Structure formats: structure tokens, C-alpha cells
Amino acid sequence: MDKVKVFAPATVANVGSGFDVLGFAMEAPGDIIEMNKSDKEGINITEMISEKPLSTVTEENTAGMALLAMYRAKKIPFGVELKITKGVNPGSGTGSSAASAAGAVYALNQLLNDEDKFSDKELVDFAMDGEIVASGARHADNVGPCVMGGFTLVRQNEPLDIVAIPAPDELYVTVLHPEIEIKTSESRAILKKQIAMSDAVKQWGNVAGLVAGLFTNDYELIGRSMEDYIVVPTRSLLIPMFDIMKQNAMNNGALGFSISGSGPSVFALCKGKENAESVKKALIETIEKTELAYNIHISKVSSEGCKVID
């Protein structure tokens, strides 16, 4: 294979109580990465199609940094050229940096001979280097599900220990992205450096409950376990009408409601598409009371991560 076209899905990270350890893949939207082998050494980002300006300099781009990690790990006998079409808006809180990084390493892996291919876990590890560009830190809660699909649990970042978790068949998500930008690095800077032991204990219980709910198809347990005591109380202050949107979503069939990644996107997990549509309607009615532009999506929790497309 000399060229490949890859779809890399948007992701929701944290999932309420699971700050930096839980995430899941959506069916759409996603980035498109087109890559071909090149006689020219190294990594050449030839085109970046995005609503917001993004660098095509390898070391300043999430995809470029992730690919550099692959080249450092193994001698790859060819260079690559790639075109990135952003379907996940930068700064949206739905894994924009992860989609580019994960999609790029997945694409390069497709161009390698079978005996030289990397495992999914290794690809996640490489993609984590791309996250440094966006947030200043290596973290896998977005790149993990973007590569592997479904839900993933990051037990540990360094060294990486990541676990795939099954999702119930009827689990849907409604994601609303208000058109404001919250940079991951800035939203991390406002977090508390210390937390009360009582809050930590409640948080541990909810993370465990959320994982148990996913394994047992217990939708109500999933919803109860999404409540966050550490991150959301601070970050929600940056999102207009967060509390009202949460209340309206819960009143219209949401299992749980929280912030996607670092925001500003918010999301509701729902049992079934009908409930997801009801939540969508309620969120639209709420956000339209502001003057903000917005995008809204409904998706099943996708069992697929990055994939080759025509």
C-alpha cells in the first residue's frame, strides 16, 4: 500500500467522574487523514483544512509530533506526505488534537509491511506525544478510544496501561458544542491542586460504578456514576448556561450530563436514540436563549475507532 485515507472519530473524554482516565469514541464527526509514501525523508504536512488556523510545521502539529514518535521507535524506510481535513473543530472539547494524532499514526501503520506494524496500544502511546502540542502533557483518554473504539480506561499513562471496556448496545450520546473556545492548557490551569479526601472517595466510587455499569449494561448505574466532584464544578463556570442545560437534559431523558473533555462541549449519555433526540431538542431550546452559535450531534457510542475509508 502506497497511500491510504483514514477516518479518525471525535471522542468524549473524562465522562463525568473519570477525569483523564475514561473516554469513548463517537460515530461522527471525525478528521480525514490522507497519507502517501514519499521519496523525500521525514514528515511533510502538505495541507491542513480547518475552520481555525493550524500549523503545518511537524513539531507544532499534533499529527506531526505523533508521527515523529513512530519514526523514533522504528526505522521506517520512507517519508510521508499527509493532508488533514479537520472534522473535529479545534478547541471544541471533543478530541480534535487526538483525532489528528491518532489518525496519522493509524494511517502510517497501514503503510508498513505486516511484520513491521505496531499494536493498537503502541499507536496510542505514539499519539500521546501529539497531545503535548495541545495540552502540554501526554494523556490517553482521547487518543485511546480514537484508536481502539468504544470506551477505554487509562489505568496509567506512564508507562501506558489501557483497557478496552464494552458499551451497552443502546448507549447514545448527544453532544452540544457552543461556539466558544476553551483551550485544554487553560482549562487545566484553573483546576485545584488539592482536593478533600471526602470528595476523592466519592469520585473513586463513581469511577468504579461507571465501569461496573458499562460491564453489566446497567444504564441507571452509568447515569448515577457520572457525577463529578473535582473538575466539573470549576470548569462548568466557563460554559454559559451549563447548570440550566444539565437540568433540562436530565428532565428530558438523559442518564447523566457533563463536560466533554476540557469543554466547551457538553454531552448527555442516553438510553436509546429517542431519548437522545429529546435531549437534543431540550438543549437546542436552551442554547438558543443565548446569542451563541452552536453545533449539536447525536451518535451511538461507536465500537470503531480509526478506520480506513475509500
Report yes or no: 118 and 70 within 8 Å, Cβ to Cβ.
Answer: yes
Catalytic residue list contains 131: yes
In whole angstroms, what is the distance from residue 174 CA to residue 119 CA? 31
Question: One of 34, 184, 227, 286 is an active-site residue; which one?
Answer: 184
Catalytic residue list contains 290: no
Question: One of 94, 131, 152, 227 is an active-site residue; which one?
Answer: 131
Catalytic residues: 131, 184
